[in-house]
Amino acid sequence: MTDSLLIAIDGPSGSGKSSTSRGVAQRLGLAYLDTGSLYRAAAICFLESGLDVAQTEQIAALVTSAAITPGTDPLHPSTMLDGRDVTAEIREPRVSEKVSVVATNLAVREWLNEQFRTIIAAADRRIVVEGRDITTVVAPDADLRVLLVADPAARIARRQAELGGSVNADQVTDQVVRRDRDDATVSQFEEPAEGVELVDSTHMGLDEVIETICGMVPGHA
Ligand SMILES: Nc1ncnc2c1ncn2[C@@H]1O[C@H](COP(=O)(O)OP(=O)(O)OP(=O)(O)O)[C@@H](O)[C@H]1O
Ligand SMILES: Nc1ccn([C@H]2C[C@H](O)[C@@H](COP(=O)(O)O)O2)c(=O)n1
């Protein structure tokens, strides 16, 4: 049996978690789980339901009865919601604007955390998992735990470059700064917990970040 290699990567919006995690998983031959993609699919459930943000119990009931299935191939990220491919839809600004509604719902979090742990077990713990509370709540026993950060200005500039002209400066700032503020009410991703390695990517290119994290993997230096 192959040894477990579970790598947990957390960080704020736009710090490079997804790009970095996919690169590390490809380099090390591991599966990849973007936990934010499940929160985003849950946000689509909410958006299509017509429920009010204050209806927290109904939102939780709705989300926890949905079938949300992420792909775990780092080369081909995908997300299915009740048999529908929502891979592109989950990145739309309307989803980014509302995802904190489900991310701050504690019953939704508890249910999704169980989904994440099932996926980690199904991958024989050979997987890179990224999000906001992977190092602290979902997999505090991971073989390597990293908090990936970058200055807000760098994160906003990266997101702006990625989205091009499809959103204005206020929308980008909302997606990065306001969303982090809301998400930080339920997860701690601004300071590394004990035993978590801090990587600041503000002045590092993507390849350098991937190289740095691969160099931290026990036995792979
Ligand atoms: N080290 C880096 N240097 C420059 N650009 C980067 C770096 N890392 C990632 N990027 C770019 O920044 C953008 C955001 O990266 P990514 O989506 O990986 O961040 P994230 O932390 O997963 O964000 P979110 O939590 O909002 O999904 C992407 O366009 C990506 O290509
Ligand atoms: N483990 C996680 C993963 C994600 N979230 C929240 C925070 C974000 O607002 C949203 C989407 O995540 P992203 O795609 O931007 O990484 O989901 C969380 O609370 N916990």
Angle CA(74)–CA(146)–CA(98) in degrees, nearest 5? 65
Identify the CATH class of 5-216.
Answer: alpha beta
Ligand 2 centre to CA of 204 (Å) is 23
CA of 214 to the centre of ligand 2 (A): 23
Atom of ligand 2 nearest to the CA of 187: 19
Residues contributing to the annotated binding site for ATP = 11-19
- Taking the centre of ligand 1 as the mean of its atom positions, its distance from the CA of residue 201, in whole angstroms, is 10
Determine which residue's CA is closest to atom 10 belonging to ligand 2. Answer: 36
Task: Among 33, 35, 159, 175, say which to mutate for ligand 2: greatest number of ligand atoms within 8 Å of CB.
Answer: 35
Taking only the tens of pLDDT, the chain with its 221 residues reads 578 999 999 999 999 999 999 999 999 999 999 999 999 999 999 999 999 999 999 999 999 999 999 999 999 999 999 999 999 999 998 999 999 999 999 999 999 999 999 999 999 999 999 999 999 999 999 999 999 999 999 999 998 898 877 778 888 888 899 889 999 999 989 999 999 999 999 999 999 999 999 999 987 65
Q: Which residues line ligand 1 (CB under 6 A)?
A: 11, 13-19, 36, 158-159, 162, 201, 204-206, 209
Query: Residue 170 and residue 177: Cα distance in Å, rounded?
Result: 10
Q: Which atom of ligand 2 is nearest to the CA of 100?
A: 9
99-158 per-position pLDDT tens digit? 999 999 999 999 999 999 999 999 999 999 999 999 999 999 999 999 999 999 999 999
Task: Round to whole Å and give the CA distance between 133 and 64.
Answer: 19
Alpha-carbon gap, residue 138 to 133, rounded angstroms? 6
ipTM for the complex shown: 0.98
Ligand 1 center–CA 66 separation, angstroms: 28
**How many other C-beta atoms are found inside a 10 Å radius of the C-beta of residue 149?**
22
Residue ranges per structural domain of the chain: 5-216
3-state secondary structure of 218: coil
Tokens of residue 37, six digits: 């993609």
Q: Which ligand is nearest to the CA of 24?
A: 1
